[in-house]
């Protein structure tokens, strides 16, 4: 194995490893477990790639490639004299990459427009937690939910509980009834149960605490209690409750929300907060490894930006397919977070491999010619790797649960966008346009 190729593999593997490990800064437990676990798996794969695989190749020789019979590569000096068309025996791929090298502004602009068009789906995304609706149609829980939805309000599946606390609260029945009337004005609730439904004045422990210091209201949503609509409504209710309590004379009272809807809302907000912490750490890891590889500061910035744009395009396309074409009300909130970290890490892996090869060629050729030669040579490996990974992640769709199918599509679409558009067209155009931050020789 050539020393320079070994270096590229190690940097690429470490980039994926560090980007995955960035999830350790999250607060949610499943993110904290998922990130380091993925990083360890990548590290093990890297060790196998640089130790066992070369040994297997040395033992088996060309027999490992049967039925193909790979030839002997040309010496470096001879290879350096070849033109891009002579060097790569795939004219179509060569023409595309040479076009990116010759007309980088036009090609880069076209790629960005396409990617932004796909990413526009994020403008209409609705994140929910479709646990029941995501089950197979024939499952017992899904059938029970369908029957409940037809006969009652969907929120009967898991009502939200509002608890109001204040000393002596049970004696102020008028304020409690007024608060219940305010809650009933929300069109998103099919029903509100509280103190007004208790026929006797004394606290019985059902809606009024026996101590008389707390009251409970049961809120029944008109929509799936774990769907995006119910989550948005509950978030809005939480914002107006202080004013509503003050309006009925309970300005000093404390309140809390409980139930599956409140739990899902809190988890969603925690996941968003976690990603705001994880994203800078993951991007910093990617930028660091690219800076080490390229010995430059500017090139890693636009290469990382291309990775982020590819990620946004894949997630936006997922929204267009599932919320647009399929007509679903929301997208599982776990999908963008899980796919985001994985696609950013894997896309950066392709970045390292492609830019490393271009940097090597730029030592003996003009930059744009180096982009055409190295880009065409690396394109086959990148596209094959992208297809293999996309097919691997697409197997998640065999699990008859909606979350896995959405994740399978997001990962497969993202990997194919990365392999066929971003790394083999957009990145070569950007490198031709902005360079790699190092002076390249001209012949």
Tell me if 424 sits within 8 A of 375, measured CB to CB. Answer: yes
Angle at 243 between CA 239 and CA 249, to 5 degrees: 145
Q: Which CATH code fits 159-258? A: 3.30.70.1430
What's the pLDDT tens digit per position in 254-304? 999 999 999 999 999 998 898 888 889 988 888 888 888 778 888 889 988
Residues of the chain with CATH 3.30.70.1430: 159-258
Mean pLDDT of 89-95: 59
Residues of the chain with CATH 1.20.1640.10: 3-132+276-434
Alpha helix ranges (H) inside 185-259? 228-247
Q: What is the DSSP string of 108-154?
A: HHHHHHHHHHHHGGGGG--EE--TTTTS-TTSHHHHHHHHHHHHS-G
Bridge partners of 258, per DSSP, are 161
Mean pLDDT of 415-439: 85
Which of 1.20.1640.10, 3.50.50.60, 3.30.70.940, 1.10.3720.10 is the CATH number of 3-132+276-434? Answer: 1.20.1640.10
What band does 443 get if pLDDT is binned at 50, 70 and 90? very low
Would you say residue 237 has pLDDT above 70? yes
What band does 394 get if pLDDT is binned at 50, 70 and 90? very high
Strands 254-258 and 127-128: unpaired
Higher-confidence residue of 262 and 13: namely 262
Whole-angstrom Cα distance, residue 345 to residue 304? 10
Whole-angstrom Cα distance, residue 261 to residue 180? 19
Nearest in space to 249 (alpha carbons), one of 175, 196, 337, 306 = 175
Nearest in space to 175 (alpha carbons), one of 250, 237, 253, 240 = 250
Whole-angstrom Cα distance, residue 307 to residue 372? 21
Whole-angstrom Cα distance, residue 115 to residue 427? 13
What band does 86 get if pLDDT is binned at 50, 70 and 90? very low
C-alpha pair distances (Å), 432 with each of 97, 299, 305, 358, 426: 10, 11, 16, 10, 10
pLDDT value for 76: 47
Contacts of 267 (CB under 8 A, 6+ apart): 28, 129, 333
What band does 181 get if pLDDT is binned at 50, 70 and 90? very high
pLDDT value for 3: 58
Would you say residue 201 has pLDDT above 80? no
pLDDT value for 165: 93
Mean pLDDT of 1-26: 78
Question: Average per-residue pLDDT in the chain?
Answer: 84
Measured in degrees and rounded to the nearest 5, phi and psi for residue 442 equal: -115, 140
pLDDT value for 28: 84
pLDDT value for 406: 94
pLDDT value for 180: 92
What band does 441 get if pLDDT is binned at 50, 70 and 90? very low
DSSP summary character for residue 218: E
């Amino acid at each position: 194995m050539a020393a320079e190729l070994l270096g590229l593999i190690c940097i690429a593997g470490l980039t994926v490893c560090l980007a995955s490990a960035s999830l350790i800064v999250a607060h949610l437990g499943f993110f904290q477990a998922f990130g380091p676990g993925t990083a360890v798996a990548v590290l093990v794969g890297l060790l196998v790639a640089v130790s066992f695989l070369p040994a297997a190749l040395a033992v088996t020789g060309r027999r490992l490639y049967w039925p193909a019979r790979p030839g002997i590569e040309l010496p470096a000096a001879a290879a350096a004299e070849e033109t891009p068309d002579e060097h790569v025996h795939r004219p179509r791929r060569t023409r595309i990459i040479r076009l990116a090298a010759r007309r980088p502004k036009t090609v880069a602009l076209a790629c960005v427009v396409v990617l932004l068009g796909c990413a526009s789906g994020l403008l209409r995304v609705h994140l929910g937690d479709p646990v029941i609706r995501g089950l197979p149609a024939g499952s017992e829980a899904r059938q029970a939910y369908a029957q409940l939805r037809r006969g009652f309000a969907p929120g009967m599946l898991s009502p939200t509980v509002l608890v109001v606390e204040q000393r002596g609260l049970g004696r102020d029945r008028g304020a409690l009834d007024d608060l219940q009337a305010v809650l009933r004005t929300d069109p998103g609730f099919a029903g509100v149960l509280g103190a007004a439904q208790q026929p006797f004045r004394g606290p019985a422990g059902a809606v009024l605490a026996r101590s008389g210091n707390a009251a409970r209201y049961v809120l029944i949503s008109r929509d799936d209690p774990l769907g995006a609509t119910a989550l948005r409504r509950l978030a809005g209710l939480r914002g107006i409750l202080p004013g509503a309590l003050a309006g009925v004379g309970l300005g000093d009272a404390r309140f809390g929300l409980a139930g599956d809807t409140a739990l899902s809302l809190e988890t969603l907000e925690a996941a968003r907060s976690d990603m705001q912490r994880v994203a800078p750490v993951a991007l910093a890891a990617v930028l660091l490894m690219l800076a080490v590889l390229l010995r430059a500061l500017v090139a890693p910035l636009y290469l990382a930006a291309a990775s982020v744009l590819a990620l946004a395009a894949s997630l936006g396309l997922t929204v267009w397919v599932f919320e647009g074409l399929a007509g679903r009300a929301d997208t599982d909130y776990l999908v963008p977070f899980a796919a985001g970290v994985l696609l950013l890490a894997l896309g950066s892996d392709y970045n390292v491999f492609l830019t490393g090869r271009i940097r090597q060629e730029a030592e003996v050729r003009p930059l744009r010619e180096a982009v055409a030669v190295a880009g065409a040579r690396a394109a086959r490996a990148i596209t094959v790797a992208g297809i293999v990974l996309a097919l691997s992640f697409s197997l998640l769709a065999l699990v008859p649960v909606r979350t896995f199918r959405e994740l399978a599509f997001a990962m497969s679409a993202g990997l194919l966008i990365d392999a066929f558009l971003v790394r083999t067209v957009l990145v070569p155009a950007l490198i031709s346009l902005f360079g790699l931050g190092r002076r390249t020789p001209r012949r």
